[in-house]
Amino acid sequence: MKYSIGRFALIIMSVMAMAAGARAADDKASISGKAYLEYTYPVFPDSLTHADSLVQFHFTRFYFNYETKISKLHSVRFRLDGDDQADGKKWRPYLKHAYVAWHDIIPGATAYFGLQGTPNWSYSEKFWGYRSVEKTIMDLNKIGSSADLGVGIKGQLPWGFAYHLLYANGSGYSQPEDDDSKKGYALLGLAPVKELTSSAFVDYEYKTAEDIRLTYGAFGGIDFSWIKLGGEYFQRKEGPTGKTVTQTGISVFGRLSWKVYGYLGNVIGRLDIYDPDASLVNNEATYAIICYDFRASKKFHIVPNFRRGWSGNWQKMENPVDIVYVTFEFSY
C-alpha cells in the first residue's frame, strides 16, 4: 500500500493523539521518538544511481515509541517507523516493534512475545552509537533483519555475562512469513567492567536443502570518557552443502571526544570491508566514514560527514564514490 507524506503525517498524529490520551490516563506509559534527517551532496553524481545523485534533504528514519506497563510483571511496546523507500516517491509507515514483555519470568530474565529486536548486531549498534549516520556493517549489507516476529528471552548472568535467545519467522519486520521454516538466534555478551564490552552470536535457518543459512560473528569494544574503539566481524554461509557461498565483513570504528566552548563534540571514523563472495579475488566493497558530531543539546545532534565507497582491492581505492552529508538527529 502506498502512502503520501500527508497520509503518513496523519497516521503519526493519530497514533500520537491516542497515545497521549492513554498516557494521561496511565502515568506508567511513556512516549518517545527519534528522527534522522539528511542533507546529501554527491561529489561525483555521474557514478551514482539517480536517487543517490540528487542534492536533497530527506528523512532516513522516523521512530515513534509507545510503552506502558499492563501489570507488575508485564509491559507492552509499540514502535512505528517510517522512511521513503517504498518506491522512491512515497513515504511509508510500518510496524517495527509490537510485543508484550514478561519481566522476571526467570530470575534476571525477560521474555518477549511478538515483533521484537534481533540479537545479532544489538551490541555493536549500541556501541557504534551513530545509527543516524549509517547502519552497522551487517545491517547495511542486509545480513539479516533488525527485528523479527517470534518468542525471545534476554537475561543477565554472573560475572558480567548476558544472553539473548530468539526463535522467530526469519522474514524480518518488512514482510509476512511465506514458508514453514523458522530461524534461531543466539547471542552471548560479556561486559566485565564498564569500559569493556563484547559479544558473540550465531543464527541458523534451514529453508530448503538448497537454501541453508548460517551466520556467526563477534564484536568487541573499549570505551573511556575521551576515546572509544570498537570492531566487529561476521561470516555468513548460504546455500547447499558443497556449494556454499560465504560472505564476510569486518568493521572498525572509533571516536574522540572533547568540549569546545561548553559544547561536547565527537570526531568519528569508521572503515568497513565487505566481501559478498569469499571465493572470488578482489571482490571487496570498502566503505569509509569520517564525521564530526556537534551536540547542540542532549537530544539534538548535527553531524556533518563524508563517506567514500570503492570496489575491488580495498587498498587501491578503485572506482571511488564520494558523498558529503549533514545528518540531523533529534529525539523526544
Listing DSSP states for 45-60 in one string gives GGGS-TTTTS-EEEEE
pLDDT computed for residue 1 by the predictor = 38
Q: Which one of 7-16, 49-58, 95-104 scores highest in mean pLDDT?
A: 95-104
Give Cα 285 distance to the centre of its chain: 20
Helix (H) or strand (E) holding 140: helix 137-140
Residue of higher predicted confidence among 171 and 166: 166
Cβ-count burial of 57 within 10 angstroms (0-12 exposed, 13-18 middle, 19+ buried)? exposed
Q: What does the pLDDT read at residue 313?
A: 74
pLDDT grade for 45, boundaries at 50, 70 and 90: low
State yes or no: pLDDT of 50 exceeds 60. Answer: no
CA 152 vs CA 109, 118, 160, 169: distances in Å: 10, 9, 20, 12
pLDDT in tens, 137-169: 999 999 999 999 999 999 999 999 999 999 999
Q: Which residues span the domain enclosing 193?
A: 5-331
Q: How many domains does the chain have?
A: 1
More confident residue, 83 or 161: 161
Q: Which region among 103-107, 194-198, 314-318 has the lowest average model confidence (pLDDT)? A: 314-318
Mean pLDDT over all residues of the chain?
Answer: 87
For residue 313, the domain's CATH number is 2.40.160.10
Distances (CA, A) of 202 to 119, 143, 216, 235, 244: 9, 12, 4, 10, 17
Residue 13 DSSP code: H
Count other Cβ atoms within 10 Å, centred on residue 83. Answer: 16
Provide the percentage of residues in the chain whose pLDDT is more than 90: 63
Once rounded to an integer, what is the mean pLDDT over residues 66-88?
85
pLDDT in tens, 248-300: 999 999 999 987 666 778 999 999 999 999 888 888 999 999 999 998 888 99
Q: What is the pLDDT of residue 311?
A: 85
Residue 5, pLDDT above cutoff 50:
no
Q: Tell me which of 177 and 22 has the higher pLDDT.
A: 177
Residue 90 scores a pLDDT above 80: no
Residue 230 has pLDDT above 60, yes or no: yes
pLDDT the model gives residue 280:
87
Mean pLDDT of 304-321: 84
Confidence (pLDDT) at 89: 60
Global pTM value: 0.86
